[in-house]
Amino acid sequence: MSMKTLGLSNIVVDEKVREGGIALTGVYNQLDPVISRLATLNPLWTFVVVACGGYGFEKGMATAFVVKLDGEPLGKINTAHVGQRRLISISNDRIGKTRQRSDSYRTQSPEKAILTAKKMFGRMNSSERVEKATSDAQRVVSNAGYSKERERNGHKLTLNSAMLAWVQTKGYDMFLESIENEAVLKVKQEVTTSIEMLTILNVELRTIERVQKDFDDEKTLLVVKDSGKYLVKVGDDIQLYDDNSLPLDVRMKLGMLKLVQDGEYLTDIGCKVTSEIFVLLAGDLTNVSEGA
């Protein structure tokens, strides 16, 4: 039965599982009726095998699936040990909010597991999408400064080490002149690069610090792309726009952020959290809460 389940068209194997070298022989018997039924009832869902047993009677048996719809994760179905029992576990953010002792629903009953997945798996609504986007933005905005600080400190160390021997005897001006005219090419390149990078990183860090402060003070605009529309959160207010109604100044800043990598910042513009989540500095932006 389990090999038949693996043969369903909407069941795929994650690349990391394939690279693990263990040939899949089926679905763990406790999960098989759950996966088989849900995959048959929901042909548009994709069930991705993300773990399998590696020894004994479990070897090669799929033991965990991530369920997706059009690439968006809906939840996870796997086995979980509770004491001496092995149960079916159904989990996603939506389920986690309803649980107190764990972030998943666990049961021995395939029927209850199927009902829970049918009820709780589904696309995020606007409120959930904004809440998740806020969490993702908080993570990126809060952590960005640390990585830039580490990068900046690395270049500072290179610069300071090279400067020290010269500054102690001849002074900073003499140091710069020596780097320009006398130093070994490798040293000159390293120091020149660090001076240039320190200037760039100082600007980036000032932008990050401004975004962090304004984000914490709820003075930024959180923009979330959702099915071709835009959810814009300003403080506690959330408005929905399409391409035609989105204020021009917001559209222009989004256009600039779309050109950079996830997690990058632009001075006086804001931060691109992901391809669908953006934090905009308010600046002279139109008050979108009044423009909806």
Pair (25, 103) in one structural domain: yes
Alpha carbon distance 225, 228 (integer Å)? 7
Task: Write out the residue range of the structural domain in which residue 47 sits.
Answer: 2-120
Please report the pLDDT score of residue 120 as a whole number: 95
The answer on 169 and 72 residing in a single domain is: no
Q: Say yes or no: 209 and 91 in one domain.
A: no
- 185-216 vs 126-181: helix axis angle to the nearest 10? 150
Question: Any long-range contacts for 184-189 (C-beta under 8 Å, 24+ apart)?
Answer: 187/162
Q: Give the pLDDT score at 287.
A: 55
pLDDT in tens, 27-63: 999 999 999 999 999 999 999 999 998 787 788 999 9
Answer for the pair 87, 65: CB distance below 8 angstroms, yes or no: no
**Residue where a domain terminates, one of 88, 120, 152:** 120
Mean pLDDT, rounded, of the chain: 89
* Residues 65 and 113 grouped into a single domain: yes
Q: Three-state DSSP class for 53?
A: strand
Domain end: 120, 138, 153, which one? 120
Q: How many other C-beta atoms are found inside a 10 Å radius of the C-beta of residue 190?
A: 18
The answer, yes or no, to whether residue 285 has pLDDT greater than 70, is no
Same domain, 103 and 204: no
On whether both 107 and 141 belong to a single domain, the answer is no
State the average pLDDT over residues 139-167.
86
- pTM score: 0.60
Task: Please give the tally of structural domains in the chain.
Answer: 2
Q: Is the domain of 155 the same as that of 267?
A: yes
Do residues 10 and 60 both lie within one domain?
yes
Q: Which of 41-50, 136-145, 179-188, 263-272 has the lowest mean pLDDT?
A: 179-188
Q: Are residues 31 and 150 in the same domain?
A: no
Answer yes or no: do 261 and 174 share one domain. Answer: yes
Of the pLDDT bands very low, low, confident and very high (cuts 50, 70, 90), residue 94 is very high
